[in-house]
Structure formats: structure tokens, C-alpha cells
Amino acid sequence: MTAPVLSVRNLSKSFGGLQAVSDVSFDLAKGELLALIGPNGAGKTTCFNMLNGQLRADAGQVMLNGTSILGLSPRRVWRMGVGRTFQITATYASMTVRENVQMALISHHRRTWDIWRSASSLHVDEAMQLLKLVGMHEQAERAAAILAYGDLKRLELAIALAHAPELLLMDEPTAGMAPKERVRLMQLTADIVAERGISVLFTEHDMDVVFAHAHRIMVLNRGELIATGSVDEVRNDARVQEVYLGGGTLFEDQAHG
């Protein structure tokens, strides 16, 4: 087995008295789609925030290809090839869809200090290619503020792919979408990452999506990892079943949150 792209050891974070994440350790291999699941408030987003530098961890170690990235600012982590999408989509409301992607490209090509050229004429082709990839090219000229939620999620994916990342952190990439659309978007994501050899860590409440696409699953509960393994292993894990449905039949019912 080759060295993992991302290696996390003993990651912990508390908010006041609340232990939001405790002692989380895992590895993410190249090209792997790893799902981080767990009930609301389990600490998934908190993990993501520590991984991309938005939140300072209390303890632990995070290595990206052998280099420690814990404590770096979000922008440094991004420059090292980590892309991120947010649970609550973060896009520029007063720009068009295309301009949203162009901004990521402009930053990637380090041209944010340019005060002369017109931003909306830079990297147009590259931006359109990315939009095409996620199926948003027809809406390129629309204002991001008026997009449907599912389209915003696609746009975020295009933005996150702009700097050709090695690792993608996707926080609930399909939240707020219709069930059919969820599966389609995740399929799309799976295809893209497979083609480009990107590794993905994602959280998701929709078990259909998780079971259909995750290579491996980790289950977080009250900040602690209670299970890690293949889809079948996790599905049949007694503790996981207890956490999700109080021990009843699991997942066939599509537990939402």
C-alpha cells in the first residue's frame, strides 16, 4: 500500500465544556472516497474545520503527503492542494456563476493584485470547462444569488476543483437536493475524482448516497469514531446501528440526521 494522502492522528477539539471531537485518527488513501457519517452534532463539520485550518485544534496531528498542515491558515491549506465545499454553501452572491469560478482561478494563478485587466475576461475557457464538468455551463451567466440550492452545490464543486486539488473535503455535498439529484451529483463527483485521482473526504446524511459511492465509511458519534470499515462492515456494526436507530433495522429506512 502506498503512503496515505491524508493522515490524521488524535485530533481533538472542545468548545468550553463540550468535547466536539475527541481523539479522531484515520488515513485517506490516494483516490479514495471516504465517508464521515454520524448524527447531527457528531462533530463532522468541526473535523473539517480543523483539517482546512478554519479552526484551531486542541491536539492532534494532520499530515498531507507527509507534511504537517495543522495550524496553517485556510488559504495556506488551499495552496497545498486541498479544496473544500461547505455545508452551507459559500459562493459570491453578487457575481455570476462563471465569475465565481474565475475568482478561484484568478487566485490560483496569483493574479488577485492585478488592478488593470477585467476580472471577468480572465481564464474564461478554464472556467467554462469546469462548469461544463459539473453541468453548470448553461447557467454560466446567471447571478449566483438566484441559483437553486442544488446548482449552488454544483457551483461549489466547480470552485473547489479550480486549483486541481489533490484532496477534496466535501461537507454534505448533496444536502438540500432532491433524492434523484443527490445520487447523480455524487456519481458525477465519483467520476471526476476517479479520473483525476483526487482523494475525497465527505460527510453525508443520505445513506443511499453513502452506500452507493463511499469506498470506506467512518462513523462519528459525540466526537468519537465508533466504527471504520467497508460499507458492509459498518452497516452490520452493532454500535452503529444503536447510534442511528436505537438498535432497530438499519439504513434501509434512509435515516436522515
Partner 1 sequence: MSFYFAQFLTGLSSASSLFLVACGLSLIFGVTRVVNFAHGSFYMLGAYVAYSLVQVVPGSILGFWGSVLAAALIVALVGVLVEMLILKRIYNAPELYQLVATFGVVLLMQDAILLIFGGEDQFGPRAPGLDGVVRIFGEPIPEYDLLLIALGPIVLGVMWLLLNRTRWGILVRAATLDREMVAALGVNQSWLFTTVFFLGSFLAGLGGALQVPRVSINLLMDLSIIAEAFVVVVIGGMGSIPGAFIAALLIGELNAFGVLVLPQATIVLAFVVMAVVLVIRPYGLLGKAETLAHSAGQVELPIRPASTLAKSVAGLLLAGLVVMPFLAGEFAIVLATDVLIFALFAASLHFIMSNGGMVSFGHAAYFGLGAYGAAFVIKYAGGSMELALLAAPLMAAAGALVFGWFCVRLSGVYMAMLTLAAAQIVWSTAFQWQDLTGGDDGLLGIWPSEWAKSKTAYYYLALVLCGGGILAMRRMIFSPFGYTLRGGRDNPNRTESIGINLRHHQWAAFIVAGMFAGIAGGVYVFSKGSIFPDEAAIPRSVDALVMVLLGGVQTLSGPVVGAGVFRLLEDEISRLDYWRAILGAIIIAIVVIAPEGIAGFIKKIAIKAGFERNEEQSS
Which grid coordinates are listed for 65? 503527503
Stretch that binds partner 1, among 15-23, 59-67, 82-90, 218-226 (CB under 8 A): 82-90
Segment (H or E) for 15: strand 6-15
Based on the number of CB atoms within 10 Å of its own CB, is 68 exposed (0-12), middle (13-18) or buried (19 or more)? exposed
70 binds, among partner 1, ligand ATP, Mg ion, none (CB under 5 to 8 A by kind): none
Q: Considering beta carbons, is residue 54 or 61 the nearer one to partner 1?
A: 54
15 binds, among partner 1, Mg ion, ligand ATP, none (CB under 5 to 8 A by kind): ligand ATP
Q: Where are the alpha helices (DSSP H) in 109-171?
A: 124-133, 149-161
Q: Is 146 in the site for partner 1 (CB under 8 A)?
A: yes
Stretch that binds partner 1, among 13-21, 64-72, 100-108, 124-132 (CB under 8 A): 100-108
Among 2, 40, 67, 116, binds partner 1 (CB under 8 A): 116
Shortest Cβ 47–ligand ATP spacing (Å): 7
CA distances from 3 to 7, 28, 65, 83 (A): 9, 9, 8, 20
In sequence order, what are the residues at sequence separation of 6 or more whose Cβ sits closer than 8 angstroms to the Cβ of residue 159? Answer: 83, 85, 91, 100, 101, 103, 104
- Residue-by-residue DSSP string for 200-251: EEEE-S-HHHHHHH-SEEEEEETTEEEEEE-HHHHHT-HHHHHHHHTTSS-S
180 binds, among ligand ATP, Mg ion, partner 1, none (CB under 5 to 8 A by kind): none
Shortest Cβ 109–ligand ATP spacing (Å): 33
Binding site for Mg ion (CB under 5 A): 44-45, 87
Shortest Cβ 156–partner 1 spacing (Å): 9
Residues that bind ligand ATP (CB under 6 A): 15, 18, 20, 38, 40-46, 87
